[in-house]
């Protein structure tokens, strides 16, 4: 029928092919749809949670809310550091009709520096159009006023506030408080970036740095809805319900041991001198005043210093950034004598009633070297008490030589010489307590490792290798005041959380000096009282209603040849001796121990002692004038 070579259409066959193929196509379609649905079930049912989380992360950003930094109060509740709003000018590009015109008009108003217009414009253009870009930081009150008047002419430009640190007392106690400044690259290495998200300022020195953790508080956050470009979108209803926020928890307040009135008196008394004053309550180690001069303005750091401003501070020959109270190390001078006297009495190598003759020069047996009376002159016959009161070098040259360097160092160490006092802010220097053993370790060349007898002699009057900080000497004064009882100096006495619970920090008692007899204490303290009544510092007791025990000191900046005489007026100001004075009062029931250092001040009696008097007066006589209403929650009420 059908020719096999000439194919013709076979409709029945075609019908069969179509039917089969259509059926096959339907099967394939069904299989593909099932594959698709399988895939959708996998995505939408099995991995639903995973993708929900991704979608949540897509649209929600955390906007940190910085916690406000804890406040700092003095012992009487006077505010030493708080927060205040700082105003800055911010611009949102997409809301500004004409950017160049706006910038020009802001410049005309003096709100943008003419030199900075180009930079500002570049910064604005580099950011997203909906970002609020700061165009001018730290506006003054006048500038805020100037802008407020013209505000309606500047759509898209507005004032923004942020919290900044404020020190209501200015430079007062800056070396104790420290300061805050912008978080630096170095800071980022040791802080938790999550904790600090949104925080702009961090404590840099002093209490602000040491107590950074409680002061900082806990930042909160606000979830904000953003679209794919990162623009915050406000949509009522649709997504708002899923957004959470967490309020920040403000940092804890600190209560310092500082007494602002005493601190102020100390700063005033030191005046324009370079130097340091540290006053301590000997009964518990509370630092009542901590002064290092010159100081600097901590507000400038919180605001942000320009490079040249910082250079001016750090290159200043008077080193205002240098904390002399903690980090300045000086020879102790004659302030060492009460301790040497105690050592002599404790080692029983001195008869306190025996008088030595001071002819102004000491001859060390077996040595040709002469050791001169520091101030020149001679004291004639002096016993131990008078040697302290009148600061007789010759007496102590001999006493030191008798005790021996090793014994002196052993006796002095418990007073805190050559070691950190452990004050609760960082940066403290240990100074140096020399001894023959120290010398063997410290020097490389064998000839340098030998301790010479002459070095022991100098040790007796606080010259030579011995180095102390003003803080250490204040601590020594407080140990003397308490007859051997010793407390670690501290600046912070309590931490108050935002609910007002004050957590008192207990004083830290250090091992007491218990090898000294009462008689020895009596004798030496009598010598120190003698110094302020008939001795070297007799002038400072004039008109005082309380008894003062003190000791002057003079630390040599450069050595005077053994046959020369130190004549103050011939020496350039910065080469003059440093003046020391340590004291405590009232001598019969001590409430304040103090060390004063006046760099290049000359003699301790004239330069340093009057300063100490003014500080003690402020603390002992005017203490009751502190406003009672401001008094912090008394420590006795502290619950935990």
Partner 1 sequence: MIDDFGYARTRRTLSSTAKLLSVLNLDGPLLVGLGLLALYGLAILYSASGQSLDTVLRTLVRIALGTAAMLALTHASPNLLRRLSPWIYVIGIALLLVVELTGVIGKGAQRWLNLGIVRFQPSEVMKLAVPMLAAWYLHDRPLPPDWRAMLMLAVIIFLPAGLVAMQPDLGTAALIAASGALLALMAGLSLRIVIVLVLLAVGGAFAGWHFLHDYQRERVLTFLNPQTDPLGAGYHIIQSQIALGSGGLFGKGWMHGSQAQLQFLPERSTDFIFAVVGEEFGLIGLILLLALYLFIVARALWLAMQTNDTYSRLLGLCIALTFFVYVFINAGMVSGLLPVVGVPLPLVSYGGTSVVTLLAGFGILMGLYSHRKLVGS
Residues making contact with partner 1 (CB under 8 A): 7-10, 13-14, 17-19, 21-22, 25-26, 29, 32-33, 35-37, 39-41, 43-45, 47-48, 50-52, 54-56, 58-59, 225-229, 233, 235, 238-239
Q: Beta 253-256 vs 72-73: how paired, if at all?
A: parallel
Q: Beta 380-382 vs 356-358: how paired, if at all?
A: antiparallel
> Distance between CA 24 and CA 406 in Å, rounded?
108
Known catalytic membership, residue 334:
yes
SS percent in the chain: helix, strand, coil, step 5: 40, 20, 40
Nearer to partner 1, 227 or 562 (CB): 227
Say if CB 581 and CB 537 are below 8 A apart.
Answer: yes
Nearer to partner 1, 54 or 349 (CB): 54
Q: Beta 592-598 vs 275-281: how paired, if at all?
A: antiparallel
Question: Which residues, other chains included, contact 138 with Cβ-Cβ below 8 Å and sequence gap of 6+?
Answer: 86, 87, 88, 303, 304
Question: Which residues, other chains included, contact 366 with Cβ-Cβ below 8 Å and sequence gap of 6+?
Answer: 453
> Residue 22 CB, nearest distance to partner 1 (Å)?
6
Between helix 518-533 and helix 470-481 the angle, nearest 10°, is 120
Which residues are 362's β-sheet partners? 371
How many angstroms separate the Cα of 490 from the Cα of each of 258, 493, 596? 9, 7, 18
Q: Which of 585, 351, 555, 358 is nearest to 467 (CA)?
A: 555
Phi (first) and psi of residue 82, to 5 degrees: -140, -170
> Residue 24 CB, nearest distance to partner 1 (Å)?
8
Which residues are 203's β-sheet partners? 180
Nearer to partner 1, 53 or 568 (CB): 53
- Cis amide bond preceding 88, omega within 30: no
Nearer to partner 1, 17 or 575 (CB): 17
> Residue 240 CB, nearest distance to partner 1 (Å)?
12
> Residue 228 CB, nearest distance to partner 1 (Å)?
4
> Residue 127 CB, nearest distance to partner 1 (Å)?
19
Say if CB 302 and CB 180 are below 8 A apart.
Answer: yes
Give the pair of three-digit tokens for residue 373. 């009376």
Say if CB 552 and CB 604 are below 8 A apart.
Answer: yes
Question: Which residues, other chains included, contact 64 with Cβ-Cβ below 8 Å and sequence gap of 6+?
Answer: 197, 198, 199, 219, 220, 221
Tell me if residue 117 falls in helix, strand or coil.
helix
> Residue 246 CB, nearest distance to partner 1 (Å)?
21
181, 292, 332, 334: the active-site residue: 334
Nearer to partner 1, 226 or 547 (CB): 226
Phi (first) and psi of residue 356, to 5 degrees: -105, 155
How many residues in total does the chain contain?
640
Nearer to partner 1, 8 or 317 (CB): 8
> Distance between CA 232 and CA 224 in Å, rounded?
7
Which residues are 159's β-sheet partners? 89
Say if CB 173 and CB 326 are below 8 A apart.
Answer: no
Could you count the other beta carbons within 10 Å of the beta carbon of residue 592?
31
> Residue 12 CB, nearest distance to partner 1 (Å)?
11
Q: Helices marked H in 183-253 — which ranges?
A: 185-190, 206-210, 212-216
> Distance between CA 15 and CA 380 in Å, rounded?
144
> Residue 244 CB, nearest distance to partner 1 (Å)?
15
Nearer to partner 1, 52 or 637 (CB): 52
Burial class (CB in 10 A: 0-12, 13-18, 19+), 498: middle
Give the pair of three-digit tokens for residue 468. 């102390």
Nearer to partner 1, 61 or 162 (CB): 61
CA 60 from chain center: how many Å? 39
Catalytic residues: 334
């Amino acid at each position: 029928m059908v020719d096999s070579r000439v194919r013709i259409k076979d409709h029945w066959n075609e019908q069969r092919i179509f039917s089969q193929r259509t059926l096959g196509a339907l099967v394939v379609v069904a299989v593909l749809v099932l594959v698709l649905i399988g895939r959708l079930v996998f995505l939408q049912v099995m991995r639903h949670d995973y993708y929900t989380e991704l979608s949540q992360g897509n649209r929600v950003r955390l906007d940190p809310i910085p916690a406000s930094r804890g406040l700092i109060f003095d012992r009487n509740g006077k505010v030493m550091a708080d927060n205040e709003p700082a105003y800055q000018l911010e611009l949102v590009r997409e809301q500004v009709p004409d950017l160049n015109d706006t910038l020009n008009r802001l410049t005309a108003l003096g709100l943008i520096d003419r030199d900075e217009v180009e930079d500002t414009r570049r910064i604005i253009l580099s950011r997203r159009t909906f970002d609020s870009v700061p165009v001018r930081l730290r506006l003054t009150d006048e500038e805020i006023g100037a802008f407020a008047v013209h505000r309606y002419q500047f759509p898209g430009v507005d004032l923004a506030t942020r919290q900044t640190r404020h020190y209501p007392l200015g430079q007062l106690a800056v070396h104790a408080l420290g300061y805050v400044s912008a978080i630096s690259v170095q800071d980022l290495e040791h802080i938790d970036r999550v904790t600090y998200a949104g925080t702009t300022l961090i404590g840099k020195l002093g209490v602000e740095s040491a107590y950074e953790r409680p002061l900082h508080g806990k930042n909160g956050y606000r979830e904000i809805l953003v679209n794919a470009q990162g623009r915050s979108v406000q949509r009522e209803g649709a997504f708002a319900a899923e957004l959470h926020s967490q309020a920040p928890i403000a940092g804890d307040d600190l209560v310092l041991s500082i007494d602002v009135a005493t601190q102020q008196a100390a700063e005033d008394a030191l005046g324009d001198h370079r130097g340091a004053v540290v006053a301590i309550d000997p009964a518990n180690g509370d630092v009542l005043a901590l002064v290092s001069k010159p100081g600097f303005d901590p507000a400038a750091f919180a605001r942000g210093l320009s490079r040249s401003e910082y250079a001016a501070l750090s290159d200043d020959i008077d080193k205002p950034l240098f904390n002399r109270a903690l980090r300045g190390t000086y020879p102790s001078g004659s302030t060492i004598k009460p301790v040497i006297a105690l050592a002599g009495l404790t080692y029983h190598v001195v008869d306190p009633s025996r008088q030595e003759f001071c002819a102004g020069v000491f001859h060390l047996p077996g040595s040709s070297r002469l050791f001169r009376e520091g101030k020149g002159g001679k004291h004639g016959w002096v016993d131990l008490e008078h040697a302290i009161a009148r600061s007789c070098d010759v007496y102590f040259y001999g006493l030191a030589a008798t005790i021996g360097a090793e014994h002196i160092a052993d006796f002095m160490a418990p007073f805190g010489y050559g070691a950190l006092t452990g004050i609760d802010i960082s940066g403290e220097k240990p100074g140096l307590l020399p001894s023959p053993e120290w010398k063997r370790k410290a020097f490389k060349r064998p000839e340098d490792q030998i301790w010479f007898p002459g070095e022991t002699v100098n040790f007796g009057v606080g010259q030579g290798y011995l180095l102390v900080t003003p803080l250490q000497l204040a601590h020594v004064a407080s140990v003397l005041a308490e007859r051997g009882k010793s407390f670690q100096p501290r600046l912070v006495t309590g931490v108050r959380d935002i609910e007002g619970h004050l957590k008192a920090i207990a004083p830290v008692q250090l091992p007491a000096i218990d090898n000294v007899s009462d008689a020895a204490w009596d004798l030496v303290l009598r010598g120190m009282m003698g110094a302020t009544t008939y001795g070297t510092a007799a002038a400072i007791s004039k008109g005082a209603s309380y008894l003062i025990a003190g000791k002057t000191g003079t630390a040599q900046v450069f050595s005077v040849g053994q046959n020369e005489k130190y004549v103050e007026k011939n020496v350039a100001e910065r080469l003059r001796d440093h003046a020391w004075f340590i004291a405590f009062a009232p001598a019969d029931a001590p409430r304040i121990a103090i060390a004063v250092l006046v760099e290049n001040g000359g003699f301790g009696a004239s330069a340093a002692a009057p300063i100490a008097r003014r500080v003690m007066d402020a603390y002992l006589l005017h203490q009751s004038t502190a406003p009672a209403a401001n008094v912090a929650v008394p420590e006795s009420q502290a619950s935990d």
